[in-house]
Structure 1
C-alpha cells in the first residue's frame, strides 16, 4: 500500500506531502497545526498549514471520505455555500506499517467560526435569530438544488459575518445525498432533524451556562422550521394576478431579488376565461446581489455585503459628472464601477492596517465603515463624509473591537 493523494488542484499534492501522514491526527506535532477554534465532530479534525493555505484535515473511513469529497465538489459546482474540498489522502501507514484511516482535506473558511466559539461570550437573542435566519437560508438553498443534508445542525455549520447578519456554510456533507429534486417528505425529514439537533445543541449550551437566560432552546429549534417554511413558500408559491396587471409579476420578482434570489426561469399561464394570470418561478438561484457586484466590479462578497456595497456604488455613481443612465454618451456602469473600486473602495479598506483587520474580509470592513459613517452623520445631523468616518473608526472603534475580530485558539 502506497500513500495516494487525490486532489482537485495539481499543486496541492506537493504541498500536502510535507505533512506527517505517518502519524494519527491526534499525534500531529504543534509545528504543523494552526490554533483555530473547532466545533464538535464525531471524527478527529485538525487545522494545519499547507504552503500559504490553512486546511482542515478530518480522519474517516475511505468510502465516506471519497463520497463526501465528491459531494462537496458537487455543491461547489452548484454554487452552494460549503467548504471547499481539496483532497482525499489514502494509503496512510504508521511507523510500524499499520494502516491509518484516510483523511478528507478541505480549505479553511477564512473569517468563519463554529457556533460554540460564538457562544464563548453569551450571544444576545437578536444575534441568535440572525444565526437561525442564516441556517434557514442555507437549508432552503440546499433543498432547491436537490441536496438532502441528512444531519442539519449548528455543529455541521460554519458562520461568517455578512454586513450585520451572518452567512451559513455547510461543513459536513457526510450524510448528504444529491437528487434531481427533493420530495416534500425528504424536505420535512431534514427540517425535523434540524429542529431536534438545534434544540439539543442549545440545551447543551444551557446546561453549561453559555446560553442567554431568555432563550428557550425548544422554541429556537422550532423557529428554524417557521423561517424555512416562510422562505420556501415565498420562493416557490404560485401567484394569481388579474389579467393585465403584469407589474404585479415584476413586483414579485423584485421581492425575490430583495431576498437575494434570482428568477432564472418562469412559467406564466392565462386562465381560460382570460380574467387571471398564474405566475410561478420555475428556477430560483441564490446570490442575486453577489453576481451583480461581481459582474460590475470583480469583487466577490457575501450576499448582504454585496447589497450594501451596491447601494453605496449607486449613490456614488449618481454624483459623477459622466453618469447618465440610458445616455449612450455617458460612462457605462461597468466603467464607473471599476473607478469606484479604484478610487473609493480600495483606498478606504487600505486605510485600516492589515494587522488590525483580524478575520474581517475587505467587504465586511467597508460595510463596518459605512455603518460608522451613518451613525456619525445621524449624530451630527449632516453627512460627515467617508474620510472622517474612517479616521474616527480607527481611533475610537477598532481598538475596542480588535479582540472580537480575531479568531481565538481552541
Structure 2
C-alpha cells in the first residue's frame, strides 16, 4: 500500500487511524457519525475524529484541491461556509487499486441540511425563513465576488438563529471568485439557478410526503428572487438627498447594520451647485472595524464602538473634503477636531461615568435622535451639551455597574430558605421558579 499524500494546515494524528484504504461506502459503522446529510452527487460520510466530527467527500484530486483552496479564500473574506480541514490523495485499496481523493471539512455544529429540517414538519412560514437565509447568504457571496454556479438548498447548511436561520455554504466545487466583482448577468444567472433548484428540491419533498402541509414549492422558490433583490438594493443602491439632510446618512448606515452588514467606505458625490448629495455604500461583514480604527487612530475599542466611530470618520471626510489626502492624515484630523473635543467637553466631575469611546458613541446616538426628532441637522456641539445636560448627568459612574455575572435571588418566605442563582440579564418571576 502506497503512502498517503495529506494536505492540511494542521494534521491531526488521529486522521491516520481512519480506514483510508476503503471506499467511503464500505467504512465500518464504528467510524461513522450518525448525522443527517443532504443530497450530493458525491459519496459523503461524517466521521469521528477525536472530540469533533469531520465531513468527508470523495472526489477527483483536482476538484478536491480547487474546492479546498476556494473554501480557504471564502473564510478569509468572512463568508459563512464550512471550514476546510484537509485533502488526502494517493489512496489505494489493500489490493493496490487506486481510490478517489477526499476533501475533508469540519462539521458545522448544530447545523442541519434542509431535508432533515423539512422532514421534521416545519411550518410553511418557517420554510420561507430558510429561503430568506439562503437569499442573504447569496447576497453575501455576491458582494464578496463569488459566483456559486450551483445554488441550492442541498448545498447549504442551516443553523437556528434566534427565531430565524443562518445559512452556510457547503459545496464550493462549481464556484469562482472574481476580484473585480460580479456582473449583473452573473448574479441573475445564480439567482435563476437558485429558483429552479429550490423548486425542484421542494417538489421532490412534497412528492415523497416529507414536506409539511401547505408548503408551496413554486411560491417558496420564487421568494428567493424577491428577497434577494430587496436585500441587494438595500445594501448597494445609491441614495440622493439634500445637503441639509446629512443626518440621513446615519439612518442608512443603521438600516444596513440591522441587516448584519457594516460600512467599509462610502462613495459620496455632490452636485455641481452643491445642493444635493449622493451616497453609495460599500458593505462588508462585521469583524474588521476595531482593527482598522486602531491602525488609523490608536483607539482600542469594542467592535460596535469602532463601527460607529469609523462611520463618523467617513462623515467627517464628507464635510471636510481634502482631495488626495491620505486616510491616516484625515483620521488624525478627525481625532483632533471631532473625537477629542467631545471627550474634553465632558466636565471633570463626570469623567467616571463612561469610557471616552462610549461617551463619543452615545453623543452620536443622541445627535441622531435629535436630528430625527427635530428633522434637521443638529450641530455636534449642540448635541454634546444636550447629551451632558439630559443624559450623562443622570448616570451613575460606570464602576457602579461592575457586578458579578450572577446574583442570588432570595425566594419569598413560602419557599424554604435558600437562593437561586440566575443570569442578572434575565427577567425572572419567582413564581416561575417554584
TM-score, scaled relative to structure 2: 0.70
Please provide the CA RMSD for this pair.
3.0
Structure 1 equivalent of residue 4 of structure 2: 3
Tell me the SS of whatever aligns to 1:113.
Answer: strand
Question: Are positions 1:128 and 2:127 aligned together?
Answer: yes
Tell me the SS of whatever aligns to 2:196.
Answer: helix
**Distance in 1 (alpha carbons) for counterparts of 2:244 and 2:64:** 55
Structure 2 equivalent of residue 330 of structure 1: 353
Tell me the SS of whatever aligns to 2:119.
Answer: coil
Alignment of 1:171-320 (within 5 A): 171-180=170-179, 181-281=181-281, 283-287=282-286, 296=302
The runs of 5 or more residues in structure 2 that have no matched partner are: 292-300, 305-346, 359-397, 409-422
**Distance in 1 (alpha carbons) for counterparts of 2:183 and 2:90:** 39
Structure 2 equivalent of residue 156 of structure 1: 155
Quick check: 2:287–2:303 contact (8 Å CA) kept in 1? no
**Distance in 1 (alpha carbons) for counterparts of 2:202 and 2:192:** 16
**Distance in 1 (alpha carbons) for counterparts of 2:173 and 2:287:** 29
**Distance in 2 (alpha carbons) for counterparts of 1:88 and 1:133:** 33
Higher relative contact order (CA 8 A, sep 6+): 1
Cα deviation, 1:203-253, whole Å, max 9, x if unaligned, reads: 001101222332221111111000000000010001000112110111111
**Distance in 1 (alpha carbons) for counterparts of 2:62 and 2:288:** 38
Choose from 375, 384, 409 the match for 2:428. 384
Change (3 A) 1:226 1:51: same
Structure 2 equivalent of residue 360 of structure 1: none
Quick check: 1:257–1:288 contact (8 Å CA) kept in 2? no
Quick check: 2:290–2:303 contact (8 Å CA) kept in 1? no
Structure 2 equivalent of residue 35 of structure 1: 34
Structure 2 equivalent of residue 343 of structure 1: 405
Change (3 A) 1:26 1:238: same
Quick check: 2:88–2:102 contact (8 Å CA) kept in 1? yes
Bigger CA radius of gyration: 2
The size of the alignment, in residue pairs, is 325
Cα deviation, 1:299-319, whole Å, max 9, x if unaligned, reads: xxxxxxxxxxxxxxxxxxxxx
Quick check: 2:8–2:86 contact (8 Å CA) kept in 1? yes
Structure 2 equivalent of residue 96 of structure 1: 95
Cα deviation, 1:279-304, whole Å, max 9, x if unaligned, reads: 110x2012479989xx7599xxxxxx
Alignment of 1:385-404 (within 5 A): 391=433
Change (3 A) 1:18 1:184: same
Structure 2 equivalent of residue 363 of structure 1: none
Write out the 4+ residue segments of structure 1 that deviate beyond 6 Å after TM superposition. 288-292, 333-336
TM-aligned CA deviation for residue 267 of structure 1: 1.0
TM-aligned CA deviation for residue 66 of structure 1: 0.4
**Distance in 1 (alpha carbons) for counterparts of 2:270 and 2:302:** 37
Change (3 A) 1:291 1:102: farther
Structure 2 equivalent of residue 60 of structure 1: 59
**Distance in 1 (alpha carbons) for counterparts of 2:222 and 2:290:** 32
Cα deviation, 1:161-196, whole Å, max 9, x if unaligned, reads: 111110000000001000011000110010000000
Question: Are positions 1:72 and 2:71 aligned together?
Answer: yes
